[in-house]
Amino acid sequence: MVRNVLGDKAKREISKISLSNNTVRRRIDDMAADVCNQVCQEIRASAFRASLQLDESTDLANQSQLIAFVRYEKEKKVKGGVPFLRAPDYTTTAEEVKKLVDYFFEKNGLSWMQFQHICPDGAPAPDRCSDRIRDPREE
């Protein structure tokens, strides 16, 4: 296909690029780690505390997934990001989810005090936020 569109020279150049499953997986993992590092760095540098929303779900294979979504200030604009998505290596109890978030924070130089609003499971009201994970800042 490349030869038909771009010619033999382009085909030879593209054939030099490794596209094995391991290579593609490693590059995706590297990009995800880079995005995570950027988001965490921006949260640490933010003049205001961030907001954290945790949501548990299941995928098509009925595997548990935990996603974290954050909003924070950067250069007087509100930004959002997903610093992590975790799959079935944990149970979905509140205690296990908190341990996972604690580990992520420790590994990435974050603390609960950097977050103004913490809301697990997409709870719309602040009083529902404590149903599953208690706010560690209040302990």
Q: How far is CA 55 from CA 5, 84, 121, in A?
A: 44, 11, 4
* Rounded Cα–Cα distance for residues 61 and 127 (Å): 32
Cα 101 from Cα 128, distance rounded (Å): 19
pLDDT at 92: 67
- pLDDT averaged over 10-residue windows placed end to end, the chain, 139 residues: 80 78 86 92 92 84 84 91 73 78 92 89 46 52
pTM attached to this predicted model: 0.68
The predicted structure's pLDDT at residue 131: 42
Sign of torsion, CA 125 69 101 85? positive
Q: Provide the pLDDT for residue 135.
A: 53
